[in-house]
């Protein structure tokens, strides 16, 4: 039984395979696999952990980097400050930051890429424009501003168009709409939240 225990442990714990996937490997029922997991006292994943493993089959799409230089320490502090002041902290599953200033958006992306090594492919962007703007021109402006990060057009959600009269003075501050950065990862969200002095 020891070899089977080791194989089951490797598949379920190390490789994060699901019970249905393991059942297919052994050509048996899911109930049989669950029986052996209980028998061998292997800790069962919670539903949220199982879903996380399913959507991140190759492991975390990020790697936390300990700042080793003064520049990295500054970047960590600036990024946390931006997120604390401008970020949407209510969403439990994703890291979001919105702003009208391209410099702030680029700084936040540097923070996410350089300090947390995020997979840029998983970044998503929301763009809110006003009804007297040209959405395509505005999108091209932001794509150009973010070109150093190799951001693609298909990483943007559908553009939200807002009546300019409903925003008041805020309209004057935003010539190119409001850009929101989205990175969906509950684990990284919790890590960053725990770094804030809340």
Cα 196–Cα 77–Cα 152 angle in degrees, nearest 5: 95
The tens digit of pLDDT for each residue in 97-113 reads 999 999 999 999 999 99
The tens digit of pLDDT for each residue in 48-85 reads 677 777 777 777 878 888 889 999 999 999 999 999 99
- Sequence spans of domains, the chain: 2-55, 70-195
Over pLDDT 70: what percentage of the chain?
92
Closest Cα to residue 185, out of 126, 110, 127, 120?
Answer: 120
The tens digit of pLDDT for each residue in 5-55 reads 888 888 888 877 888 888 898 899 989 988 988 888 888 877 767 777 777
Token pair belonging to 27 = 């050509």
């Amino acid at each position: 039984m020891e070899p089977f225990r080791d194989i089951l442990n490797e598949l379920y714990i190390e490789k994060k395979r699901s019970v249905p996937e393991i059942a297919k490997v052994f050509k048996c029922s899911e109930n049989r696999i669950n029986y052996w997991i209980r028998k061998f006292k292997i800790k069962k994943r919670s539903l949220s952990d199982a879903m996380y493993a399913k959507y991140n089959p190759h492991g975390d799409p990020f790697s936390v980097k300990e700042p080793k230089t003064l520049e990295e320490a500054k970047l960590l502090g600036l990024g946390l400050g931006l997120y604390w002041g401008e970020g949407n902290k209510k969403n439990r599953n994703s890291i979001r930051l919105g702003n009208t200033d391209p410099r702030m958006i680029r700084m936040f992306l540097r923070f996410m890429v350089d300090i947390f090594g995020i997979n840029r492919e998983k970044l998503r962007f929301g763009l809110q424009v006003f009804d007297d703007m040209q959405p395509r021109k505005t999108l091209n402006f932001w794509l150009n501003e973010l070109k150093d990060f190799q951001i693609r057009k298909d990483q943007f959600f559908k553009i939200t168009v807002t009546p300019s009269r409903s925003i008041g003075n805020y309209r004057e501050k935003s010539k190119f709409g409001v850009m929101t950065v989205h990175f969906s990862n509950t684990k990284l969200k919790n890590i960053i939240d725990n770094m804030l002095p809340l």
